[in-house]
Structure 1
């Protein structure tokens, strides 16, 4: 995997904290299995209360999350984020998260250091036999769902001396297993839209039935969500990337973003943005460039321009 440390500059750098956020992206051989690895470290950084929140969009991936230092609580998405409305504490220091079809907000009461391994749901099913749909919008202890070999990885990552060593352990564990399960999975998959198209193609040539209904049934079985939902997330991600890139150089034409991302019109883009992120596009863009708690969006969006060819 290769590491990306996007560095904000100018007014953006002045408005954000020194908390460290790092992204690792997989090489081609693992790109249809691993979406990314993300690390967040706020130790030694003075954050105000608002900056202790973490905003994440709805996403089809399943994740393993390690908390090496500190704690987190998951907030009710239907209630406003505020210090007097505590959420549910994570059930363990090492947790398994299913796919989410709604945005997620968490809060760290104090300094923290955590890492997230994001796995494509169909790949996770092939590697573990788990049904991603059974964990939709759920966070559970990893020990309740993973077998001994996966838990050995979890413990090794937990005990590793630094983040680079942790990512190396994940790579070493996953690469031979994924090669054995999917020896043909070598073409790069960098965005959800590419993944959902490949998924639809694979579903159409798998099994006996090839009708649209049978293809969609296979996809939901593999990922836990219908193809329409996955395609919607792919369009939303593309629009997000375009808005972030445009926002770094000037004003954003939302009608142009909607058209180039495959939406029927700007209203369609706004509705989908609210579903996936909880915010309309303009408000989301403003928060990405000004709000510490949207660090995950910023990390993901700014990293897109740093990907190697």
Structure 2
């Protein structure tokens, strides 16, 4: 079954240890990137601590709420970071399906909330459901309007389970036979974004008629919702994130110029631009937020 990742021993003092990361069983490792669970039930939070910050992502997601509910915080400009004064919008439907997101996002939980977000590799979601991620890029929709009927029954079954382990078992027991029946024959052993982008390009090159660059790009965008160039950018940004964590552990500070070079960026300003585009924050501000602020919990559980 899915594996619950132990809490980080570096969890910041004074912040609630409420985020969980579940890694999929081995048979689903090329289908699911992971599952994030968050509960604030039983904790006392300030208004500012009720914000949840999420990076842009090439992944698709399916979300449940078991207690409470979240609202989207809407930025007034594409390059702005939403805050407590930003307008709020209700998420559509009981369960929400989201496609790849090219901009960072934020939500707000006005009351104690317990929610779960399952993160699918976009090409796997396409294989499983026939839904093209490109049609969902930068969108969040009512899952009941787009998912097949058996998926809606699965969503209801997950909703009825009594704890997170049972929810994960219910989800994976449904997905495993579906994935075994439709998964590509070319296997992928790792799920770092950079490796996945390479794998996707290789698959596109040997799938179906047509080998021109334009045909390959169209195939990749149909499967993943984003062009290959953007997928490679996510790969470099992820590599920089983990390189920065390693450098901070060793030296107590992050040499951002070295991190930029090792991750394949042209220079440190290039890294800063990409980090702002994906997270809304400059690299050091993002690092400081991860270490000291509740809304960055989703970044912490990946460390």
Aligned equivalent of 2:54: 56
Change (3 A) 1:202 1:291: same
Unaligned runs of 5+ residues in structure 2 are none
Shift, 1:247, TM fit: 2.4
Aligned equivalent of 2:93: 92
Shift, 1:13, TM fit: 3.2
Unaligned runs of 5+ residues in structure 1 are 303-309
- Take 2:48 and 2:84, find their aligned partners in 1: how far apart are those partners? 9
> Greater CA deviation, 96-105 or 206-215?
206-215
- Take 2:186 and 2:21, find their aligned partners in 1: how far apart are those partners? 22
- 1:257 corresponds to 2:259: yes
Cα pair 1:29 1:186 within 8 Å, conserved: no
**TM-score, with length taken from structure 1:** 0.92
Shift, 1:239, TM fit: 0.8
Shift, 1:189, TM fit: 2.2
- 1:229 corresponds to 2:227: no
Query: CA RMSD for the aligned pairs?
Result: 1.5
Shift, 1:255, TM fit: 1.2
- Take 1:26 and 1:216, find their aligned partners in 2: how far apart are those partners? 29
Shift, 1:80, TM fit: 4.9
Change (3 A) 1:80 1:127: closer
Please list, as runs of the form range in 1=range in 2, the aligned pairs for 1:1-309 lying within 5 A after superposition: 1-9=2-10, 12-18=11-17, 20-77=18-75, 78=77, 80-182=81-183, 184=185, 186-249=187-250, 250-300=252-302, 302=303
- Take 1:186 and 1:30, find their aligned partners in 2: how far apart are those partners? 11
Cα pair 2:12 2:291 within 8 Å, conserved: no
Aligned residues: 298
Shift, 1:7, TM fit: 3.3
> 1:102-142 CA deviation, whole Å, 9 max, x = no partner?
10111111110000111111111111111111111111111
> 1:31-51 CA deviation, whole Å, 9 max, x = no partner?
221111110010000111111
Shift, 1:151, TM fit: 0.4
> 1:20-77 CA deviation, whole Å, 9 max, x = no partner?
1110112443122111111001000011111111111111111110011111111123
- What's the secondary structure of 2:243's corresponding residue? helix
- Take 1:292 and 1:164, find their aligned partners in 2: how far apart are those partners? 24
Cα pair 1:5 1:21 within 8 Å, conserved: no
- Take 1:80 and 1:259, find their aligned partners in 2: how far apart are those partners? 27
> 1:199-244 CA deviation, whole Å, 9 max, x = no partner?
0000011112112221111101111110001111111111111212
Shift, 1:8, TM fit: 4.0
Cα pair 1:68 1:93 within 8 Å, conserved: no
- Take 1:195 and 1:28, find their aligned partners in 2: how far apart are those partners? 16
Shift, 1:185, TM fit: 5.3
- What's the secondary structure of 1:13's corresponding residue? coil
Cα pair 1:72 1:89 within 8 Å, conserved: yes
- Take 1:27 and 1:251, find their aligned partners in 2: how far apart are those partners? 35
> Greater CA deviation, 204-213 or 149-158?
204-213
Change (3 A) 1:183 1:138: closer
**TM-score, with length taken from structure 2:** 0.94
